Amino acid sequence: MPNVSAVEPPTLSDKADTLEPSNALLKYLLQAAPMASMFYSGTLCGVSPRVDGTQQGCLHFLISGELGLTREDSPPQMVQGPCVLIFPRPLAHRVEGLGAAGADLMCATLSDLGQPLSTLIPEPTIIGLNDAPRLRQSVEMMFGEAADRAYGREAAIDRLLQYVLVLVVRKLVEHDLLRGGVIDAMADDKLAAVIEALHRDPGRTWTLEAMAHHALLSRSAFAQRFSAVVGMPPLSYLTAWRMSVACGLLAQGKAVKQVASAVGYRDTSSFSRVFQRALGVSPAAWQQARLET
């Protein structure tokens, strides 16, 4: 079983945020208000039940021990703790606690990552905790809450999970672990200004001509270049980004009408149709389910 070691991050200067294209995305990546929810905590010995990979992504927090990881159409791999193992998109897999002592493990579903984050994280991604003291401390706090079984532990773990998720995304950006798509576009001298403008002002009345003007390209040249680099047409990306921003606003309890206006729709009915098509539920239903969690 080949060994998959935890990521050894490069050393970054304090000024990296102003220099790296990926860091310019940091303030946007969590706009969709992603959610994590624990479904397993304990010492895993042997093979786990199959994680349902058809609906949500997954986070595995391995505080000690070794895991065997099995995915469909991939050779078995070994993961050494302490680390965080990230499956950003739905993917069926099994984890197995190796050795007599097993593996101290916590698992959580991962949902609502939104664009562009959901497409930028390689699958799977491993973040070592030995070089991430703040993240490790927070993960250890989650394990402590789970072990204590004190009153309110579920609520405490849920709150800690949300904070840990922010730390995980921060680490992915700081250590240049995001790949492709918008990251490549941010390094493109013609597309970077367009991406930044779309992220900064999703409520603007954007047209293909307006985007091409930002890029100083003809409409056809811009559309072709954007699709080749980002992996989807410009207007499709704009819609996906608007839905991510909308999810974040809905999660804050904003009214559907207010959210529709904020992301560039003149009326709630057209916004609701696009939202339903993208997420499978109406904005009101999505908001109600989210606020009840």
Euclidean distance between CA atoms 80 and 2, whole angstroms: 11
Higher pLDDT, 5 or 96: 96
Q: Is 185 helix (H, G, I), strand (E, B) or coil?
A: helix
Question: Backbone dihedral region of 88: left (phi > 0), alpha (psi from -120 to 50 degrees) or beta?
Answer: alpha
Report pTM.
0.77
Chain segment 130-181, per-residue pLDDT in tens = 989 999 999 999 998 888 877 888 888 888 888 888 888 888 888 878 888 8
Q: Determine the pLDDT at residue 17.
A: 35
Closest alpha carbon to 21 in 139, 217, 140, 191: 191
**pLDDT at residue 252 greater than cutoff 60:** yes
Q: Which residues sit opposite 61 in a β-bridge?
A: 84, 106
Q: Determine the pLDDT at residue 13.
A: 30
For residue 51, name the pLDDT band (cuts at 50, 70, 90). Answer: low
Task: Say which residues have a Cβ less than 8 Å from residue 87's Cβ, sequence separation at least 6.
Answer: 53, 57, 58, 59, 60, 93, 110, 123, 124
Angle, CA of 244, 286 and 208, to the nearest 5°: 30
Higher pLDDT, 123 or 9: 123
The kind and range of the H/E element at 242 are: helix 234-251
182-291 and 12-174 share a CATH fold: no
Q: Determine the pLDDT at residue 50.
A: 61
Which amino acid belongs to residue 114? G
Q: In CATH, what is the architecture of 12-174?
A: Sandwich (2.60)
Domain range annotation of the chain:
12-174, 182-291
Q: State the average pLDDT for the chain.
A: 83
Q: Is 214 helix (H, G, I), strand (E, B) or coil?
A: helix
Asked: is 182-291 a CATH 1.10.10.60 domain? The reply is yes
The pLDDT > 90 percentage for the chain reads 40
For residue 281, name the pLDDT band (cuts at 50, 70, 90). Answer: very high
Please check whether residue 87 is in contact with residue 110, taking contact to mean a CB–CB distance below 8 angstroms: yes
Euclidean distance between CA atoms 89 and 44, whole angstroms: 23
For residue 14, name the pLDDT band (cuts at 50, 70, 90). Answer: very low
Q: Determine the pLDDT at residue 259.
A: 95
**pLDDT at residue 109 greater than cutoff 70:** yes
**pLDDT at residue 66 greater than cutoff 50:** yes
Q: Determine the pLDDT at residue 272.
A: 96
Q: Is 1 helix (H, G, I), strand (E, B) or coil?
A: coil
Closest alpha carbon to 146 in 135, 156, 134, 159: 156
Asked which of 22-26, 63-67, 98-102, 248-252 is least confident by mean pLDDT, the reply is: 22-26
Euclidean distance between CA atoms 289 and 269, whole angstroms: 20
Higher pLDDT, 210 or 175: 210
Euclidean distance between CA atoms 202 and 131, whole angstroms: 36
Chain segment 240-251, per-residue pLDDT in tens = 999 999 998 999
Chain segment 213-234, per-residue pLDDT in tens = 999 999 999 999 999 999 999 9
Return the axis-axis angle of helices 219-230 and 234-251, rounded to nearest 10°. 60
E strand segments, 46-156: 46-47, 57-64, 66-71, 77-80, 83-87, 93-98, 103-111, 125-128
